[in-house]
A and B are shown apart, each in its own frame.
Chain A
Amino acid sequence: MKQKFIIFIAALSILGSTLVSCDADKVDNLYTFTDKMLGQYLRDTTEYSEFVRLLDTTKVIGLLNSYGSYTVFAPGNDAMHEFYALKGKNSLADFSLDSLRLIAYDHIINGSTITYNYFNDGRLGEMTMSDRYISISFVEGKIGFVNKTSEILSKDILVHNGVIHQISEVINPTNSGIVEAISKDSSFTIFYEALMATALAEKLLKDKDDGYDPDDYKDLISTPKEQNQWFYHEIPTARKYGFTVLMESDETMRANNINNIDDLKAFAASVYDDIYPEDAGISDIKDRHNSLNRFIAYHIIEKQLSYTRFIDAYATEHMIDNRDMYEYIETLCPNTLMEVKKDRLANKTNLINFIPESGRVINISDVNFDRDATNGVYHEIDGMLVYDREVDNMLSGKRLRFDSSSFFAELTNNNMRGRGTFKSASQQNLHFQIPRGYIERIKASEQTVVGYLCGYDKFQNYQGDEIFLNASAGKLYDFEILTPPIPAGTYEVRFGYLTNGKRGVAQLYFDGIPCGVPLNLNKSATDNGYQVPGSIPEDPDGFENDKIMRNQGYMKGPACYKVPVPGWTSGANARYSNSVLRRILGTFTFTEAGHHTFTVKGLSGGEFMFDYMEFVPTSAIETEDIY
């Protein structure tokens, strides 16, 4: 037992040293370890007696005394009593059992032992048993805070089946939907009025798909975790919707001479009547093409994006850390994108629609962000967020690279995308088997199984993760994917994938147009003319090889990501890997901004890996970099 304990501590130490380091102002990492079960530890610690009473009453204590992995944010007795008072109650007995169960669940993460090392500013990747996110923040001199106000008084109390962090306040997440939450926030009255007046609030009411039952799809799991393979299958536990609203405060509005909704209408018209002159005459603000409607809609994203999930969560170890990152997010404003930039050199993140020439940018407030709601989150922004000509020009003049998982809101809203990188040394990778019809923008044949593979340190994938489609033995994959909206223009369209010799032969289509003849995707990059840059003396940078590959319809992988743990593939970055390819689908002219379809029909057995997609304006190809 002692030996196991030492190994355990050693493992923790190693793990701790390899994980992304916490903010500099966090206090030292010291673990407290007890060999008790979590429930027992709490019971034996008088300070938690009221919390234990809650756990007893709700019968959750039994769970915490069972084997598994749990993270508990435990409020002390004072915190519990303060909570009763806050709610106008005297004791636990004054709450309904359902309410108590929800309170208990709010404090427990089932399935993961999340030590302090894993805490980063923003939401934790794992959700509580009540299906809510826990948000972590740091203040100098303090260990940290949960959901901004509940201080972490003591961290990393390790027990046999998990970890406890003592907190100063009972976690009390809002039970309001995103619209109700905004309505209660007095900082955004002008925006809220417009949100209601445009009827866009009605778009934000969905919570989850009640018709979805994961039990219906358990036969999709062929590799359960218990098999101890390098990966395991899971089915999404729910099909939730999620929303993000970015809002200018009344103060910011006023700074822009907007004092009421009429001013806002005028402002919106000045922007959107210019870029959409054909709609300038639409006065019905509920019309999706009206300028005010577009203004508000451009602030709404049908994904639940906490502060770190705009872009930081995708800056996995795969991403070369001196290369800027860009994320393109569809908004509710018809056929528009929003760019989010992570500027490595300036150490800035969440730069929205940054225009290099003018320096114009919108930032998310660093104090008023991650405002929680049951079906979403909202953030304050520091300037007037618009999709105007300048933004349109910026977006339609540069390479737009989309991680494949960014196409699908369901992956974000159900806590699949953005879970960081699973470590091959200590973890099995998580593969979600996605039921047919679960993702609205993937139409797959009955034979096709859609998978989402979370980031894994042995993958050489852009942002670590991938969409994976395959068919059972003797069958063929066949699917169609709807892309996010792309601005009008003429683009070279490419998709990126990792070769492994078993991708099959397939016919690719873009917008229903065959992209040439059937492709043998089983071929390695080398079979398609790839040479490692530097391996040919007269072509030290591989540019001549780039030309050769483009003549064949391929490109090397971009130099902006790598495989963190080489083995399955190697190379300093994807450009230096003979396993990574970009296939040029062709050049297409989009007469107007809109969505497009990428269709793949397998012609031989195999699996299809879809890592990312690029839309490169033909005018930008000449000056395109290797990243």
Chain B
Amino acid sequence: MKNIFKTSMTRVTVLLTALLFGLAFMSSCVDENPYDDNEPEWLGSSIYNYLQSAGQYSYYVRMIEDLGYKEVLSLTGSKTLFVAKDSAFVEFFKSNQWGVKTYEELTTAQKRMLFKFSMINNAYILKRLANYNSGGSLYEGTAMRQMTELQALDTLPRLSGEQLPSSEFWNSRRDNGMYLLRDNTDYPTVFFTREFLAKYGISNDDLEMMLNIKNRGADDVYIFNNKIIERDITCKNGYIHVMQSVLIPPTNMAQYIHDNPNTKIFSKLLDRFCVPVYDEAKTLQYKSLNPSFTDSIFTKRYLASRGGTTTLPSGKTSPNLLSFDPGWNSYSTTAVEADMAAMFVPTDDAMINYFNSGIGAILKERFGSWDSVPDEIILPFLKRHMRTSFIESVPSKFDKMIDAENYSLPVTKSHVEGSYTAVNGQVFVTNSVYPPVDYISVYSPILLSRNSKIMNWAINISETSVDGTRFAFYKLYLNSLVSRYSVFIPTDEYFSSYIDPIAYGQDVQGMLKFWYNDLTNAVNATAYSYNKTLGEVGDSVAVITDAGFIKNRLWNILDSHIVIGDVETGKGYYITKANDIIQVSGAGSSMVVKGGGDIDFGTQSNVVNFFDQYNGKTYFLDKPVQPALKSVYKALSDNPAYEKFFELLSGVPESSVNQIFATQGVDSRIRFFNAFRYTIYVPTNDAVDQAITEGRIKTWSEINNISDAELRTAEINKMVRFLKYHFQDNAVFFGQSVNGYYQSATIKDDNSKTLFGTARTKYLKIGVNGTASTMTLSVDAKEGTPAITANVLSGNGYYNNVVVKDYIFGRLPSAYKNVDGTGPTTGVAFSTSLVTTSASAVIHQIDKFLTFE
């Protein structure tokens, strides 16, 4: 037979149609056309006739006849058949997975599997086998799968109760068993052409490792690992390709993993996520073919975000979804033809080893056995082993593989103990386990602990970007393996003493107890009255379930409990993600942590357990760290040692835009503070007096008495610039080693040269030099000015390292009702209150005023 056509189905169909028209309507013509009465010699006979007459396909022909396909393959259709010669069948009968020794022993179902899996319902020469159409476009050379004629109902087993998966979803059928389709989609075949392999850089070594294909010739085409030995036999109704062996349909990945005696543990974990789904369409279809059938047909479907189902038998949406349904025969991401999936399945030995050593031991310690690991925790483990693209998972690309969270998957070729090409993907059986980042990062103890549900819930709250992408930022953040964190987690039983900052600024203060509601799988808060004067907690006054409120407070707490870097360096003070200042002493399980509020109240959080993880340490606490609730305003106004400086700060005339304080937060906040941490240097009262005496500044009364508005404004601005020069970006602590220049809050407004080289429109700097027992400040005065320094005071009667915090809330506290529902009639519900942002500061008292003049 000659290969005439350069295209496949279309041209054959068109040609045949044209020939038929020619034969039907042109017979009356008397011309010289040789095809009027005779088909072209090269066209050959029908598929059936060819196979029958060739004399070496008798088994295959018998299957065609037995299954009633003689007429179909004699007359109509555009088919592609991958047939086996009698000699191949002889080999098949010597050894096969069904134990069938003769043709006669083949059941009808087996014949259907052999025959229909070898037939594609289109005519393809091999050169075009890797082409497919999708969405109206032709994709050339990029196909590796085509749907066969083998349908789900061609293999309908009835499974006994013992054969059903062990999860609770199957219990109702445990006694009687059920008709269960492994999948209700048709079977595709998998093939490898030169075009496809070249396009995606899949090498012969890859094929050898995956399919044991050796010495592949450049033009060889394989159906699975079965070589096509004769190609493109052209018949009237399609093409025949001859296989080296009988083509036996493989199963799908889920079934292979289930059947493999070495992957039982993984399979059992996987099967937790499969459910029986009544298949009405298949039941009716089967009944129409078999009227005596009265039972129901179910399909085994996996709970998955791609393929499968998302619905539990209860009708509820499953919270836990696999990446894809591993039993889905016709798995696809864009088109069935384009790709398939892959899975890395650890052997039972690998699973056991992992569970008994290293990071896996934490799982064992926590849960005892694989079976006891909860679904939500095992899910990321399974997903890490599931790959949506075969093309991106072949051995030559192992080193480039990343998981769904962009973390590399450390698979090497030496890990692979076995490989199986299923109809929907490639299974690599490995001697290694690939735990998800969730298991090794600082997030891991939070995920795996019994009593960190509250923080785990908060960490897993998703946000949605403008394009609809959902992402749980805190989880991504804590899972960053290139960063290093110290994470403090108040465990669930200790999450009962969070003083709410907004309530703290109200008439009725409140303390919140957060708790995990197992009924709703969400965190709620119970509010208790709290007397900030006495520090006493009263009765519960409200239960808050508002998700926005809970999220807002828990994320604020999370931010206050995360430090980037280590906290065991002995520095004493550290800055949290929320810009809070915390004091840390001790190390490991002896560590004590105090927030600004703790320092004020004389409380502390003790570390009860800690975990040394890949990207830092996770410390479990017996109490939330209480951030400062005292504002800068409050701290300065309450302390007589700050009196003179506070008078200056609070004396800025209301008419001026350059105010120091703004009414916000618990009481007032520094107007020019933002979400950052600062240092405030407060001159002693004597030093302030000295500044006035020296004429560096005027008193407010002197300024207010200036009648010339322009001059008065100039003096106000001069005073404000003087005051703001005592506010510095970045928090520095007395007792720490410091040596650097920090920006103040006073902008440089001229082109004069200064000691620290500050340019116009930039901010004048403060030089800070600190040791264990001293801290000296130098100023950014004009060049040529004698060096001026000031010292942070320490010892009795002086105040340094005073930690304060300025909040910004969604509204002023007075705009909300109190936590117990009382309060202004115009106030909105407390549960709608939001903490927007905050700034922290440390206050040091200094012996001199700071001036850049």
Contacts and interface: CB of A to CB of B under 8 A. Distances in A.
Contacts of B672: 538, 544
Nearest to B405: A603
A502 interface: yes
Contact of B747 (A447, A514, A537, A544): A544
B479 to A, nearest CB: 8
Interface stretch (A329-337, A357-365, A391-399, A547-555): A547-555
A622 B762 contact: yes
B761 interface: yes
A551 B480 contact: no
A518 B473 CA distance: 9
Given A507-B482, A538-B658, A622-B759, A518 B465 contact: no
A548 B676 contact: yes
A627 interface: no
B428 to A, nearest CB: 18
A502 B139 CA distance: 30
Interface in A448-502: 474, 476, 478, 500-502
Contact of B392 (A216, A446, A518): A446
Given A476-B402, A537-B657, A514 B465 contact: no
Contact of B466 (A474, A509, A517, A522): A522
B469 interface: yes
B255 interface: no
A518 B758 CA distance: 32
Interface string A591-615: 0000000000111111100000000
Contact of A603 (B388, B476, B674): B476
A601 B480 CA distance: 11
Contact of A502 (B388, B466, B758, B761): B466
A163 B480 CA distance: 58
A548 B727 CA distance: 13
A601 B406 contact: yes
A347 B139 CA distance: 52
A272 to B, nearest CB: 34
A380 B466 CA distance: 51
A226 to B, nearest CB: 12
Given A543-B747, A551-B729, A538 B466 contact: no
Interface string B730-762: 000000000000010101000000000111011
Interface string A498-518: 001111110101000010111
A504 B469 contact: yes
B618 to A, nearest CB: 16
Given A446-B392, A502-B465, A547-B729, A602 B406 contact: yes
A509 B659 CA distance: 41
B201 to A, nearest CB: 10
A602 B480 CA distance: 11
A445 to B, nearest CB: 7
A551 B469 contact: no
B467 A518 contact: no
B158 interface: no
Contact of A517 (B400, B480, B747): B480
A543 B564 contact: no
Contact of A606 (B139, B199, B467, B473): B467
A168 to B, nearest CB: 46
B293 interface: no
B476 A606 contact: no
Contact of A529 (B404, B675, B747): B675
A176 B482 CA distance: 52
A514 B482 contact: yes
B139 A219 contact: yes
A522 B465 contact: yes
B600 to A, nearest CB: 26
A445 B400 contact: yes
Interface string B454-483: 000000000101110101010011001011
Given A551-B676, A603-B476, A538 B659 contact: yes
A249 B308 CA distance: 73
Contacts of A474: 388, 404
A601 B404 CA distance: 12
Interface string A190-218: 00000000000000000000000000100
Nearest to B743: A547
A94 interface: no
Nearest to B672: A544
A520 B743 contact: no
A518 B674 contact: no
B674 A517 contact: no
B469 A520 contact: no
A623 interface: yes
Contacts of B476: 505, 518, 603-604
Q: Is the interface of A mostly helix, strand, loop or mixed?
A: loop
A500 B763 CA distance: 31
A1 to B, nearest CB: 33
Nearest to A221: B137
Given A604-B469, A604-B471, A552 B477 contact: no
Interface in A396-451: 445-447
Contacts of B404: 474, 476
A504 B676 contact: no
A502 B469 contact: yes
Contacts of B392: 446-447
A606 B400 contact: no
B720 to A, nearest CB: 9
A28 to B, nearest CB: 48
B583 to A, nearest CB: 22
Nearest to A551: B676
Interface in B426-473: 463, 465-467, 469, 471, 473
Nearest to B137: A219
Given A529-B674, A538-B657, A445 B465 contact: no
A517 B405 contact: no
Contacts of A476: 402, 404-406
Given A538-B659, A543-B761, A517 B477 contact: yes
A541 interface: yes
Contacts of A607: 467
A509 B757 CA distance: 31
B466 A500 contact: yes
A505 B676 contact: no
A552 B759 CA distance: 21
Nearest to A522: B465
B466 A478 contact: no
A544 B749 CA distance: 12
B729 A445 contact: no
Nearest to B729: A551
Interface string B594-638: 000000000000000000000000000000000000000000000
Interface in B502-534: none
Given A500-B466, A518-B476, A622 B757 contact: yes
A445 B392 CA distance: 10
Nearest to B658: A538
Given A538-B671, A543-B747, 13 more contacts: A219-B142, A447-B402, A500-B466, A501-B467, A502-B469, A503-B465, A505-B473, A516-B564, A520-B473, A529-B675, A552-B674, A605-B469, A606-B465
Interface of A: 216, 219, 445-447, 474, 476, 478, 500-505, 507, 509, 514, 516-518, 520, 522, 529, 537-538, 541, 543-544, 547-548, 551-552, 601-607, 622-623
26 contacts: A216-B199, A219-B142, A446-B392, A474-B404, A478-B406, A502-B465, A502-B469, A504-B471, A505-B476, A514-B483, A516-B483, A518-B476, A522-B463, A538-B672, A547-B729, A548-B674, A552-B675, A602-B406, A603-B471, A603-B476, A604-B473, A605-B465, A605-B469, A606-B465, A606-B467, A623-B759
Interface of B: 137, 139, 142, 199, 388, 392, 400, 402, 404-406, 463, 465-467, 469, 471, 473, 476-477, 480, 482-483, 564, 657-659, 671-672, 674-676, 729, 743, 745, 747, 757-759, 761-763
Closest 4 CB pairs of A and B: A501-B466, A604-B471, A502-B467, A605-B469
